[in-house]
Structure formats: C-alpha cells, structure tokens
Chains A and B, each alone.
Chain A
C-alpha cells in the first residue's frame, strides 16, 4: 500500500539527527513523515517507564539481558544483537553494532555528554597529515551549536579553551565527594579538570520541560524531560505542530528514485503486520545512524544508481570509525566508612578532563578525554559481589559469612573511583561496512558486513590512556584494581563500535569522487536526498558526537528549507 500524502520531507530515523531535522522542518512549515523502526516511546507512560523504579521492581534486580544489555532499567530498547536482524563481520576483523529500535533512538540511553568539536577537530589533516580535513570549519557550525545550546540546554562552563569551545551553558552541579578526590589528584598530577558538559537542565529553559531532580537516572530516560532525548525534546513538540506524521514500527528498505535519479520516496515494511508500505515525498532525510543509513543507500540500487544511491564514488560505508575507549578503577581507602547521604546527582559525572596534550610529542596522533565515575549509587544486580575484596589491601581476609558481611558492604560502599577514556581514532578507507550478498534479515533486506581493524595509532593511544589512568587514580589516593592490560590485550582498547560513536560512512566533502555528500549533507548524486546523522563526519573528534549531530542536522535542515524556498527542490 502507499501512504496517500506526498510529504515535503521524509525523515528516516528518530534519534538526535532525525529528531532535529523533524523539529526544524516542521517548525518551518513543512509536512514531514518521520519513519522509525521501533515503537512510540514515552518515558512518563507507566507501561514504559523505568525511571524511579526500585531494584526489586525487576525480578532480576536490574541485571542486563540480551534485550537490555545496559541493564534491565535502561531506557534503550535495542542492543548488540537484534532478533531477526543479524549483521556479519569479515574474517579477522571486529565490529560491535548497537542499534536502538524506539522513538528517540539512542538518545534514550546516551550519557548526555555534550561537547562541541573545536576548530582543530575540523582540520586534523592540516595538523598531523592523517585522514582528511572537513570541508567546513568550526565557524560554519558555531552558530548552530549556539542555537542547539539555547534550544536544548546544556550545563558547563566557559573556560576559554582553544579546542573545547565555550557555549551558552547552564550552570553545572557541584562535584561529589569522589570527584573532589579526583580534582585534588588531577591538580597534583598537573592535569586539568573542569565541570562536565551535559545536556541536563540544572536550570529551567522553558515552561514545557522540567528541571533536573537529581536522580542520576538519565539512562532511564527522564519523565520530566529534564535531559535531552530526541523524543521528549524535539519530536513531541514537532508532532504537536500538526505537521508531522510518525510511522512507528516501520523499517525502511530503500530510497526509491525516479527516471531522473532523484528520490520519490521510501519503500518500507510495517514490522507489525509485515505489509509493504510506500511513502512519497519531495525530499528524503536519512538519519538512521551512520551504518543503517549506509545500508539503506547501498540497498537503494536502481538503473541510475547501480552501485547504490549516492555511491558513485564507492565511498558509502567507507571511513567507518568509532571512538577509542579504555577504563580503569581504584579503591580509595579515604572513602571507606562513608557518611551516607543522597549523592545521586545528575546522570553520570559532574566533572571531566578534556584533552590537554595537544602540543605534546606523542607516538599517536589524536587525543582523548577522561570521564570520572564513582559514588554511592543505587544498588542493582552486581552490588555486593566480592563484598570485602578490598580487605586484601587492608591485611584482612576476604570471604566469610554471617552478619559481619553487612559491615563489609557498608565499609566499602562508595569507595571506588573509576576513569573511562574516550579518544579519537584515525579514519581509514580500509575500515568499512558493505552489503553482505549472502545474508538478509527477516524483512528480506540485505544486511551489513563489517570490516574494521584498529591501527597502531589507536593501540598506542590506549597505552597512553592506561598510563594516564594509573597516574591519576594513584594521585587521587587510589589503590589500583585489576591488572594493567598490556599489548596482548591492545592495552585494554575497546572493540571497534563498542563506544557507539560510529561515524563517517557517508562523509561530506567538496570532491564527489572522494565523498558522499556535500558540505550540507546533500548527496552529490541526488539533490533531494540528505544525510542528517553522523555518517557525514569526516573525523570523529575526541568528543562525543551528539552535539555535532544536532548542530549539523539543524544546518542541513536550514539548507533544505532554503533550497525549497529557492525552488531548487
């Protein structure tokens, strides 16, 4: 069947990029079809709500499952493996792929860490000769970052740092106790530390959304809309405008194109009744996530686009890259026998360390930032495991039974300090996703096959991360836990895809021979098809990608509006 209406724009995917495109295009008066593969989602709906649940409300006490890999109370419906939707990896390569299937996509579980890319991040080739420059610079994106800050809200502080730009920030929350220990340690080690930057409303931003009530449960999605999820902040208001139709549980097979090669709509399948559905539109905005967008393009084969839509350069799927990651933890004897009070705070860290060695001479090219963890969180499955393992450091026996274990649990509650590093990798032409010609998913859509290997750049960076984390944890008064991973474990480097910052598969550029879209996310090969997710990133900085996805999606949307006004679309 076919939807009756000819939409001005069809937006595929409802995460950060799709939500922003939907909101902006609807605000400009366009009629928009928003297509989402998963169900409608409302964190305040009691049948979907996980916020403010106590651990015993889950029979598994919040333990992870294959259906909720980040824990039973996590908001994100999706995971590393989806029933009926496989993907493959080429021999001797690795890739982990997280897919959300719900309104708002992965913005339902992200860390809300909202970092602008800096001027250097758009021009890395100029600095280290590796990879490529973006065709645009910070000055092109800055006005959109500014608008995103004010529309969505982000706390942080203006520090005047050269590559971590200032913004229109809400004030940050005060640090927690373990964070004060980290600050002291970082000062002693000569490593900078600043208030974190997160899209959580520490102060009212409008009369529609609530203000943070410090439950630390952003990853459960906020029923007060006091943090940024694409659904609650962008899609609900867009739908309220009356100009948006949301097609949930609808999976896009391909973009349909006409005799002139431009898009006429999308072909989908309704996941509920398995019926085919065609949606017609004047333009198509792909924001299905970097890899899903590449998959849709590669599957959109036609006479005019015989290698897939937008793929005359052969670059769709190429330059796939993810952030690097490594982590370490320590036991802080200073934090034994704590006074117990409510220190939930906002979801995740109140402080962080941005990359501070831009000018250092190192054996890897790109930087990383440090995320700080710890505190007296709410118990869930896993709490109390190895309850008195730190006795080892106190010259006491580990193990036992009886009521004395209660004292052990309380003695060590909140005495752990952890650091997670998130870094920039160097994009490689040879790291890519492609269609696997032999495998389809349950909807009959050919699936992706991944080809990804880290290079020495990332491995050397991970070694540096490990040294840094040890130095900072010890400077904070910590006794290191576990062992330091060496070369046999690539220094604890996470797997490609594991940090869920995958970008680059439809990169932007001025040369149609080496890029998929132009600097506005418009396909070189089809002027009414756009990419509004992280596929257009030429390089993923040592920053989390969401704030840049939002800024670029807004910029692409403004370009679409302008092109329509000029009757170029």
Chain B
C-alpha cells in the first residue's frame, strides 16, 4: 500500500447539513475535503472469527456524513498536510478513525458526544456547526481546547475530546508508511543486532562493561552450530 500517491481519494463536502456562514480561507464551507481512502480488505493471519468480525465492522455505518467530515477537519487541523511526509488526510485518518471507533466500543460515545459538544460550542460562539464556521473561527476554538492545563469547566469536555482526537490522529498517522518515515523507524527487518552504535554510546557518555561484553554473542560465529564441553562452556 503506497499512500503517498493520492490516487484513491474520498471526498465529502463540508456543510452537508445546513449551509453555514460564508468563509474565506482554508476549508471553506461548501468546499470538498479530500482524504486518501484506506483499503477495506486485509489479510494478515486472521482466523475465520476475526475475518467475520472485520467484515461486519466494515459493513457497519456508525457515523453520519456530518460526523465524518467533522472528524476529517479535526484530523487535518491536528496534523496538516503541508509537510513533506504528508498529514492526516494523506494517511487516510478519517477512515482509520471511523474503523477504530466502531471496533472499540469505549470510543463510540466520547467521539459522538465530543462532536456534538463541539458543534454546540461553535453554534454558541460563532453561529454555526464546527465545519460551517470559517477557518480562523475553527482555530480559535481549537486554541481554547487544545491544551490540557486549561481548567475552565465549560471547556473541559472539549479538551477531553480534542485530546482523544489528537491521540487517534497521531496513532493513526504513525502507524502508516508515511508515519514510520516521519519517525525514522528503522526496524521490522531481518538484521543482526550487535549493540548500541559507538557514536551513540559516546553521546550518552556510556560504555559497555568489558566483562559483560565478553559474554555476549560474537556475531561472526552465529552460524556455527553450538557445542559445549561438560562444564557448560560454549566451545564453538
């Protein structure tokens, strides 16, 4: 799966509900929001019961279109696409969030209720749903609910919700190919571990204890079949 190519796009119109206030910048009300569509077929060592469960999850519609668009807009704000390694929409985050919320029962209420809170707050502050206000207004709301040290009881539900969406966005992004590239993760490949690189040890002011190192595997002899003497000493 190469998600750098945005060849498979999902699009939903902002403002699928009532028309909102006019906006000028960014994701304007009425404009489409695009994201990379994630596969709906997976094969990774599943039992029949697991395949059945995933089929049911993919077939289930849980979010309304309005909720999905709101999720997309939030994911985009949290991890925007103006970055060489792509952002949330490039990584198909709305599809991931939709799936994981359906999969994990304990997420359903917080996400649905959180979106409803956000819309209610946006209506009170700016006269329209979150996706139907303009981008500066959206960011103004996010600025109020993005930091966990804010103790305003009116904002607490929004802060909780935004934290959850930040968690889901980051975990969804950093478990894609773009995310691993962004992180620089080097593993999940066959290799021969031979200790912390010398320059890293030096940077940390650490060194291996010589007597410890003496006990460790000599990787140049790893393919020689192990033999021992009667005193439990390795001899090969």
Contact = CB atoms under 8 A, between A and B. Distances in A.
B147 A174 contact: no
A387 to B, nearest CB: 5
B200 A341 contact: yes
Interface in B108-143: 142
A403 B79 contact: yes
Q: Say whether chain B's binding surface is mostly helix, strand, loop, or mixed.
A: loop
B173 to A, nearest CB: 7
A334 B205 CA distance: 10
Interface in B143-181: 146-149, 159, 162-163, 166-167, 170-177, 179-180
Given A174-B216, A205-B226, A398-B147, A62 B175 contact: yes
B23 interface: no
B184 interface: yes
B191 interface: yes
Given A177-B204, A213-B192, A405-B79, A168 B228 contact: yes
Contact of A56 (B1, B162, B193, B209): B1
Contacts of A282: none
Contacts of B163: 386, 399
A305 interface: no
Contacts of B142: 401
B103 A157 contact: no
B197 A339 contact: yes
Contacts of B103: 59-60, 63, 65
Nearest to A413: B183
B50 A384 contact: no
A65 B51 CA distance: 13
Interface string B90-109: 00000010011001100000
Contact of A169 (B77, B193, B232): B232
B171 A383 contact: yes
A211 B223 CA distance: 7
A42 to B, nearest CB: 10
Given A175-B208, A176-B196, A59 B175 contact: no
Contact of A166 (B203, B204, B232): B232
B196 A343 contact: yes
Contacts of B100: 60-61, 63, 381
A400 to B, nearest CB: 5
Q: Say whether chain A's binding surface is mostly helix, strand, loop, or mixed.
A: loop
Interface stretch (A5-13, A23-31, A47-55, A518-526): A47-55
A340 interface: yes
A378 interface: yes
B139 to A, nearest CB: 9
A214 B186 CA distance: 12
A209 B124 CA distance: 67
A171 B104 contact: no
B68 interface: no
Interface residues of B, number: 87
Interface string B35-54: 00011001111010110011
A174 B49 contact: no
A341 B186 contact: yes
A384 B167 contact: yes
A544 B194 CA distance: 27
B95 to A, nearest CB: 9
A382 interface: yes
Given A55-B175, A343-B193, A376 B217 contact: no
A153 interface: yes
A204 interface: yes
Interface string A177-218: 100110110000000000100000011111100010111110
Given A61-B175, A195-B215, A406-B83, A184 B206 contact: yes
A127 B167 CA distance: 51
B194 to A, nearest CB: 7
Nearest first, the 4 closest Cβ-Cβ pairs linking A and B are A384-B170, A174-B195, A55-B175, A213-B190
Given A50-B45, A169-B232, 7 more contacts: A50-B44, A175-B196, A205-B225, A340-B183, A378-B187, A382-B171, A387-B170
Interface of A: 39, 46-50, 52-63, 65, 67-68, 72-73, 77, 83, 150, 153, 155, 157-158, 166-177, 180-181, 183-184, 195, 202-207, 211, 213-217, 334, 339-346, 376-387, 397-403, 405-406, 409-410, 413
